[in-house]
Chain A
């Protein structure tokens, strides 16, 4: 049952963003903290555009490139939420940037059924055995639901690894995946609040068919969307990140260890915004020693996922910084808990021959059922 009306997303965004404008004391800490502020935009330029509704080219470009990491909000002494102010500006952009077209046209657009169907046909081939889970026509009632949404198509291999682990542990589950169950985040990122809200409501309806007790997601954005859905609908199910879920079953697996230390990359949404930096570390610690890249998870540099489309070059710069930090700390690779972080980093890291481990893929390779002898022992 949905408890919020059609305009709720827009209205609450406006409420938070306008509070930011009223509250801004001009410290400019937000813009100093921003990882993608290559134009050196100041807070007063943003406030001026927000207050007058008249755009400047600089602000337009900056708004297009904002990756919604939330570092600005964490830095604000007055607790204005600059990331939401950016989102409101995105929702008011006079024209949709070219780089956003893939997103706008496809992800989360249930009004474009034919496009989704076409894309499903092409994508199913690409993902082999997982194809059967894409936009399933009927969903069974199960206590455990894996929610992969549009990341079922992720080249990270994370969804398949997650299911292999569940099978290894001996769990019974249902899978919800495909463009039709997208959480709406891509639309949300562009300030297309109406579409985002529609998608989330639809997701809630699909989940209701399964009546799960636990929903597991390996994408930070999907996970946050689940939190929001739970809050808005007072749902009883418990949303878990993939590491949170796997840790609950860790004793049912035998774990192997890597003999080299691995760095961990914090997802902005899970570690910084929701404030759960620990579960992924606990899981990684079962397989390798961990190298911390920053003093605290709050200081972690964003993967810039969003700029895969808006400004790939800028994104590449972020990745090089991350890569440098990993190499300087002497880590043999970097682990991530969010598939979009993986997708964002992989190209740059592969070029440098430094592996990026999706934690599910890693766990799938480093475990066997508990009590199961190794080949060597046989």
Chain B
């Protein structure tokens, strides 16, 4: 039976962030990293760059091989099937048992797939292995159908478009693409641009069945294609741990502790209670996962660190455009201030006279300043100016708004 002080299951950003923090706090404690993917930590969020050939193989790797050596990490390829939290033991699929002192479950989530009549192979886009099959496919792909017009579906559509695949369609169940990131006006802005790129959008529709190269949508419309990719969300995955409190994901507190002693969890496999409600929410983004990883790492090494209630922030690629999402830009209450032009879109939301959040597409200058500004009082005139691309955040002095270090 193998023994380790810290056992980390997973190879995502939560796992890597945790091990970094553990190593800083505990230079000599043994760390064992177990994961069932073929490779250690890689940049999941940049796989579309790898598919499009922009990034080489060694750029996908999140850390260099020396990193693991320098951090004195032992790695084991395998799948943990079951954990006995009382005995502090984890059982691998190949029969091996590992005794641990502290356990972190950071096993992430897997792409949802749904069976479709006539569809043999279901392609999804989540892991490096998925990306490999997609890349192979992309070589011969002429016409594609993406099922699901959420962020992932849009990223895929953008990737395929950039690869020069001329016939790309999206079937999306909702009335507009990109929720919950986009509200309807923002989605309309984007949809117009996608249609200009000749992306076909089937809204309030989904795939019903496939016959040869012909797909039949629920509405009765048809689309001929050679590649079908499902992008319909993810579901948390984790090993069986007796007595562990779970919902959709493993339930954790603000210290990333579970209900069991010495069992911690972080990242996409978890869910947290929305303060003041009985709603539990899974994490949504990369940054959340790395923050959870940092916090859990410190706590596993003896710290007492809780997740900060920071304003939500995400910046990445939406279809082919850069975007930033700050705080809570959408919602019933408050006022919205919108600016839109050929090259960009911005929405600023003010609730009770305070800056609640913003969504910026393409031109994102000031986004970091806005992140600092969530909760600050903002009058209507200022909100209007803030939404305009010419607004100079670095001129707003006196307040710590510009994120320039200076």
Please report A residues at the B interface, Cβ cutoff 8 Å. 12-13, 16, 22-28, 42-45, 47-48, 51-52, 54, 56, 77-79, 81, 84, 87, 224-225, 227-228, 230-231, 234, 273-275
Contact = CB atoms under 8 A, between A and B. Distances in A.
B46 interface: yes
A231 B368 CA distance: 17
Interface in B33-49: 42-43, 45-46, 49
Nearest to A15: B405
Interface string B255-292: 00000000000000000000000000000001100110
A185 to B, nearest CB: 10
Given A26-B43, A231-B406, A42 B58 contact: yes
Nearest 3 CB-CB pairings of A with B: A26-B43, A228-B406, A25-B45
> Looking at B61, B64, B364, B403, which has the most chain A CB atoms within 10 Å of its CB?
B64
Question: What is the predominant secondary structure among interface residues of chain A facing chain B?
Answer: helix
A52 B23 CA distance: 9
Interface in B11-25: 17, 20, 23
Interface stretch (B81-89, B230-238, B393-401): B393-401
Given A27-B49, A78-B316, A12 B59 contact: no
A13 B67 CA distance: 23
Contacts of B394: 227, 273-275
Q: Chain B, interface size: which category?
A: 35 or more
Given A26-B60, A44-B58, A56-B66, 16 more contacts: A23-B290, A23-B315, A25-B46, A26-B43, A26-B45, A26-B59, A26-B62, A27-B45, A28-B59, A44-B61, A45-B64, A48-B64, A52-B70, A78-B45, A79-B368, A84-B405
> Looking at B23, B365, B398, B406, which has the most chain A CB atoms within 10 Å of its CB?
B406
Contacts of A13: 405
A47 B43 CA distance: 12
Interface of B: 17, 20, 23, 42-43, 45-46, 49, 54-55, 58-64, 66-67, 70-71, 286-287, 290-291, 294, 315-317, 322, 324, 364-365, 367-368, 392, 394, 397-398, 400, 402-406
Given A28-B55, A47-B62, A231-B400, A225 B406 contact: yes
A25 B43 contact: yes
Contacts of B71: 51-52
Contact of A23 (B60, B287, B402): B287
A275 B66 contact: no
A156 B330 CA distance: 53
Contacts of A79: 315, 324, 364, 367-368
A299 to B, nearest CB: 15
A37 B143 CA distance: 38
A273 B367 contact: no
21 contacts: A22-B294, A23-B315, A25-B46, A25-B286, A25-B316, A26-B43, A26-B55, A26-B59, A27-B43, A27-B55, A28-B54, A48-B66, A48-B67, A51-B71, A54-B70, A56-B64, A77-B322, A225-B406, A231-B406, A273-B404, A275-B392
Given A44-B59, A228-B406, A27 B46 contact: yes
A56 B23 CA distance: 19
Nearest to A235: B397
Contacts of B398: 231, 234
A276 B171 CA distance: 44
Contact of B406 (A26, A43, A227): A227
Nearest to A75: B322
A71 to B, nearest CB: 15
Contacts of B317: 77
B66 A22 contact: no
A52 to B, nearest CB: 5
Contact of A44 (B17, B63, B324, B405): B63
Contacts of A78: 45, 286, 315-316
B118 to A, nearest CB: 36
Contacts of A25: 43, 45-46, 286, 316
Nearest to A24: B43
B236 to A, nearest CB: 20
Nearest to B367: A79
A22 B43 CA distance: 12
A350 to B, nearest CB: 32
A51 B70 CA distance: 10
A230 B61 contact: no
B405 A227 contact: no
Contact of A22 (B42, B46, B290, B404): B290
B127 to A, nearest CB: 15
Contacts of B60: 26
A77 B70 contact: no
Contacts of A231: 397-398, 400, 402, 406
> Looking at B316, B397, B404, which has the most chain A CB atoms within 10 Å of its CB?
B404
A23 B13 CA distance: 10
> Looking at A13, A52, A56, A231, which has the most chain B CB atoms within 10 Å of its CB?
A52
Contact of A230 (B66, B67, B365, B397): B397
A28 B54 CA distance: 9
B59 A227 contact: no
Nearest to A23: B287
Nearest to A229: B406
Nearest to A42: B59
B325 to A, nearest CB: 11
Contacts of A48: 63-64, 66-67
A43 B71 CA distance: 18
B92 to A, nearest CB: 27
Contacts of A275: 365, 392, 394
A87 B317 CA distance: 26
A108 B398 CA distance: 26
Contacts of A44: 43, 58-59, 61-64
Contacts of A23: 286-287, 290, 315
